[in-house]
A and B are shown apart, each in its own frame.
Chain A
Amino acid sequence: MNYLWFSHQHCYGAGENVVRMRIRILPPSGPPFTLRAVLDTGAAISYFDRALLPSLGIADVTTGRPIDLRAANGERSTGYVHPVDIEFIGHPMTIPIAFCPDWQEGTDNLLGMEGFFEQIRAAFEHRARRFYHAIH
């Protein structure tokens, strides 16, 4: 039998079917602030609301690495990946985040596989509404 060890657990609401985690943003200027982001193991990469771009010091989204984004409904768009400094439960990380200039503002922030889940060990016990994790 294999065992996995976790250093943290997060309990989410009894009625919740998504897990939203607090992400502390460390902008290049201005005080830090906290956002909520959905843990999304179905997302190949993290995706954040493009409204955040100016606060991250990104004046031109197209300066990032271009990638093809495909949403669950099949809609395709070009996204641009930028490295962003965040803090996840006290752990500083730099993760690649895709932004899409074609998609509307106010979308959910998603934490995906490339760059985010690569840096942590994670497990869900959804019946108990618990998320376990450890930083690699």
Chain B
Amino acid sequence: MDEISSGTTQHPQNRIGLPEITPSREVCRAHSWMVIRLFDIIASDVGTSWEPSPNPRAGLEEERWLEQNLNQLGNYQGLWIAILNHSIVASGDSFEELHGQIIARNIRDALVVKVPDDLTQRDYLIA
């Protein structure tokens, strides 16, 4: 039997009288691809809610970077920015605009902050 064209190899009947079928290497590869593709489709359909894995370090490095580089953000005054690792990966005039970029580029676990209009001013928050 042509294993590649049929996709299966016929073996002698098993103990209960049914033919044993062993999928060929090509069929296994195709099935693996389909499983991966199916997983991708399901994941994209349900967004990220399927992945509740906690990340206690989310934003930690980014927050340290922000505190060390706050005075270097003059070009971003008044803007919303997304920081990932040690760099600004997106910015926008509004949170909505920035969040749109985060979704479009699937940026995970960025630290999102609004850069103050005046970086030299030190104010006292009374909430």
Contact = CB atoms under 8 A, between A and B. Distances in A.
A31 B108 contact: yes
Given A33-B82, A52-B95, A24 B55 contact: yes
Contacts, number: 101
B47 A29 contact: yes
Interface residues of B, number: 33
Report whether over half of chain B's contact residues are helix, strand or loop; otherwise say mixed: loop
Contacts of A35: 111-113
Interface residues of A, number: 36
Interface stretch (B4-12, B30-38, B58-66): B58-66
B59 A22 contact: yes
A22 B124 contact: no
Report whether over half of chain A's contact residues are helix, strand or loop; otherwise say mixed: loop
Interface in B89-106: 94-96, 99, 102-103, 106
B127 to A, nearest CB: 5
Contact of A72 (B82, B102, B127): B127
A54 interface: yes
